[in-house]
Chain A
């Protein structure tokens, strides 16, 4: 990113002309604000994959062929005492009527049992019409409605539950309608109704658009809170408002520039990039190392300018290294196939680079300009014997850190053994990880949406929908008994799966007509034996149903039929079972038949697998990239290996916990696992970099490079840069802890993941690294460690 000498000159320039740097930064920030009002969100899960992806092309094709709606809201109405009483039926009818008037609802294709067209037979007369033309009042009428509902495969489990307590209204949305807006209107309608019924609103569009609305809350509400927490934490650490302000300024500038750039390019904000302000704020905390070092330098070097330059010289290399590592970790995301992840990676890489440029320009400029009063206080926090209030605390902190590193150094074997045990345990846990993206589970269990989905999936066919297009090379194949039997077989096999709540196809309609024409005798609910009868029954059906009902099950050439599969779970595994059945059915199906899965549930599965492979690919790539960066930064393979170990253990432990806890490994976690390497590596870089520098300074020419010198250097590193590491970890964790209170699970997950990772990584760096360095000192420091003859013993081990 920034080469050594050039960055040095940037620092020099900033120290020489601090005001110019500040004004330039302010102007650029104002410029970046301009495109921000144009920012838009995109929460449609479909856009996780590009429009050209096979699954999207296929889905669009099936939707077009059968005139299917992309978005359907399911409204559930439940009465524990049973729905079949006049009052409840009146209310269902009123609610249905009110829903039809909501803008965005495809009114004529709304399907509710109060209005659904039903075909029955009454004393030899075929009766076509609404199932409930008027509300039944007498017990006989109610009983006949109950019979009509329960004896009809097309209604029971789909429109009304078998126990007669839950009914569903399927509300398709017009293209481009906002699912949350419609859902809110439906809830408002439901609230107006007095009665013992409860109303539930579920379905993919509600989840998606509710998520979109919450995302803005997340960005607009939680990012500032995260900022405020960081501000307070920095103030507590350094007792300087000016310093805390400048840190926040750096973070804000980076966020504004990044989001401004995103808006200027015209890209939307997805779930991942909505988290980027919090990420950037946390990444900005890396500058804490500069402030940390400055607070020590300030008392060592009285001249302000020299103190700033010396600080930058001391921390410049690790700060650059960590920035590079973070940027590289996020760069890996640019190679993924999930579009929002790529965009997120781009935003963070850009933001990280901005942050680092600011570290070498804006921060030195601020440090140069800070009023003497606040400087005194910063230095005070670290100065021994000063009268500042923060002093005893500071000393205590240093002592504790020394003790921690000391324990690592002295009991290195025990610590290493414990780490091994932990690694094995974590490894077992990690192997139990289950990859699954379930958008409904992204909502907390107390949310209306999650509960509605659960109730409806328990009582009715299921809210997650897949389609299976069965097509034949033979024209009019689905007018033949074989065609219908192929569909029937597929349905029967699918309905054996517990996750499948309901299936239906044109076979159900034909069988229904056959039964009605034979005096509603259940014996006749069969596939007619010849094609001519099927053709005629189809004709009767088309004349008695909505045009869209026929279109949805078979195309005009009768070569392509659609089987609708309702799933009781949004888990990817549910659809995987369906595909398993499909594979079996394919093997025994008549020749020339092809089965193509489609629908939201299928999309979720494809996307889910894509996430898995992205994650595996990204993680392996990140492993390599981070290792290469460590090697480059340390100019040593061995030091890179040592620096790598705490990092790996951190990630492994987190995976282990996820595995043991049985938490789904979903997209946010997958993305984080790639990032975590790039972020956790910071501490190793700082620790090892500063340790080697210290050892070199304290034992020039390797004269004093014996055990005690190594231990002393370790303790110094733990106490001084280690304090920066701890501060950094605490700040990072503090900022992300806000997300633990977010209204949506992915944010909570991300928050918990980052908090755990930062604290664990800091702990392992301060405890495990000293243990490793002591245990491997001979290997690391080479023969020079023993002989002490080389001029530059630590920097160039033999193998390098």
Chain B
């Protein structure tokens, strides 16, 4: 009896791990075209859709290996890369999605980077322990392996961009995914 109970528990655990398809559970078969933005026009159109639901399609170029909380969409080439983050109902973006064509429905969000933010980020980098949540995620290849000096250079570059823009902030846009559909 005891052997049967323990065996059952292990079988259940292995079945649960084998049947895990979290990234595909939140599929919406009939995504609406309302607020449809393309990757190529994302940066131009994003300011008009802040905090509104949009639909965007693209190829997944990269998923964050630290917990799969973000991924990046490109379309044809990597000149424009759109950051997608997990919404409350999406467990993670599995690395198996890389290279897949997906349709994302989600809330377009703006992150404003100003001098205060850059100073805090700079201070975080100078601390001994890395805080991956701080900083701007560009999805550039190898960005996860950036050295502290790379990050400091990136901050310096943003400071130059801020100066050139003549504004008190830079805007970075992302989409908080509510639904994800893998297109065939």
Q: Do A and B bind each other?
A: no
Chain A residues near B (Cβ < 8 Å): none
